[in-house]
Amino acid sequence: MSVLRTRGFPLLLAGEVVNATGNWIAIVAIWGFASFKFDANASDLALLFVVLSLPGAVLGPLLGVPIDRLGPKRTLLIANVLGVVDAIALTQAKSYLQIVLLALPLGLIEAMAAASLDAIPPRLVHDEQLVAANALLGGAQDVAIVIGPIAAALVNAQWGLTGAFLADAATFAVGALVALTISVGPAERTESRESPWHELRAGLGLARRNDGLRWTLAAVGSVYLLWALFGLLEPLYVRDVLGESDTTFALFQTTYGVGLVLTGLALAKIGDRIARPRYVAIAVVLSGFTAALYVGTTSVAVALVGVFLWGVDVAFFYVPAKTLLQRYAPTAFHGRILSLNQSLEPLAGIVITPLGALALGFISVQVLGVVGGVLAVFGGLVLLRWSRGITPVPASGPIDPTAGTSRDAIALGGSAPG
């Protein structure tokens, strides 16, 4: 693949595998092992998700301003350094409540790191390589989903939660070193320097005016709602419905990751043809089917098939959706638009997890999961119909990764210069 010959990109891939593996070790430790160790119930898990989601949901969109001002390389470095500090702080947790409180900054740190990373490919590779770059970076993160839960189980068995958080701190340090090494400059600005509030409003205004951005954000937001619901349901499904241990929980996450990785590699070969709104909408529909298959059974074998297929579908959804956001937005706005995208996921957690915990007082884990899948199918069909009226995606082609290109003019609602 020609994108792998781009200077700095292979290092970015390797660093992301290590960094994301550490993140998954911490996620599984907080999400899964802590719930088993402290016998957390649905309300406890809902509280955890709200606390982890609140900083990113409330402050996430504002993070795009420093990304656009400083450039994604610098903000990626800042996020990883902060991650080291917070992961070390988590080693001091002695109760479930302390884990919740010490994990509070993680949502914001992860939102900044993810949005910074999403803003790097358009500045590092040619536009016709963007789908492949996004797929490979997504694949690097997905490899971590395969490795992370297994590593988390091994670390937790040997050193407990403290070891998991120390491993996360070490991988954040690797991420910081990679950010120092890669050569990525900030985009030229298409606007005069204003206050952060004004720049935030400009980014939100662009998302509101541009029909392609508006549609894509609606699509990812609908899927984030389903993910948030299953974030609450999965540990309870494994423990209470299947009657299995945290080891089976980790196995499901690994199987999901295998589906993501294999599909990501395929997408890197398929290329630009999948970066279209209609394909994203179809993937939303399929996500509902696969999620319902996953939790709609009492068979571990069938659940493994369902979670694998869900991973396959998520890759088909997320890579083209991210590419649409990068192409519909001018390069100088990437930080704000991609940060807005990152903030939608924790916002979905704040909305859905308390409602899901409340619903579990009346219906079972399986029924709620199937209902969530059916609603996702309906939402995908609505998005598919809506996609017919969306402005065509700006054409790909080799571009200088700065603002002021023809594609950026189109994204801003104007005509191509000249």
160-171 pLDDT, tens digit per residue, is 778 888 988 999
**67 neighbors 57 (Cβ within 8 angstroms):** no
pLDDT at site 380: 93
Tokens of 310: 């869900």
Mean pLDDT of all residues in 363-379:
92
Mean pLDDT of all residues in 63-89:
91
Q: Which helix (H) or strand (E) covers residue 278, if one does?
A: helix 277-295
pLDDT at site 418: 30
Mean pLDDT of all residues in 228-234:
87
pLDDT above 70 for 406: no
Name the average pLDDT for the chain.
82
22-70 confidence digits (pLDDT tens): 887 887 777 666 666 666 666 776 677 677 777 777 787 888 899 998 8
Nearest Cα to 182, choosing from 19, 319, 21?
19
Listed by start position, the domains of the chain span: 2-186+195-393+401-411
pLDDT at site 223: 92
DSSP of 22-55: HHHHHHHIIIIIHHHHTT--HHHHHHHHHHHHHH
pLDDT above 70 for 356: yes
Query: What is d(CA 141, CA 122) in angstroms, rounded to the nearest whole number?
Result: 18
CATH number of 2-186+195-393+401-411: 1.20.1250.20
Q: pTM (2 decimals)?
A: 0.79
242-279 confidence digits (pLDDT tens): 888 777 887 888 888 888 888 888 887 776 778 889 99
| Ordered alpha helix ranges (H), 120-210 | 121-124, 130-181, 196-209
Query: What is d(CA 330, CA 403) in angstroms, rounded to the nearest whole number?
Result: 6
pLDDT at site 397: 46
pLDDT above 50 for 92: yes
Nearest Cα to 317, choosing from 396, 224, 407, 251?
224
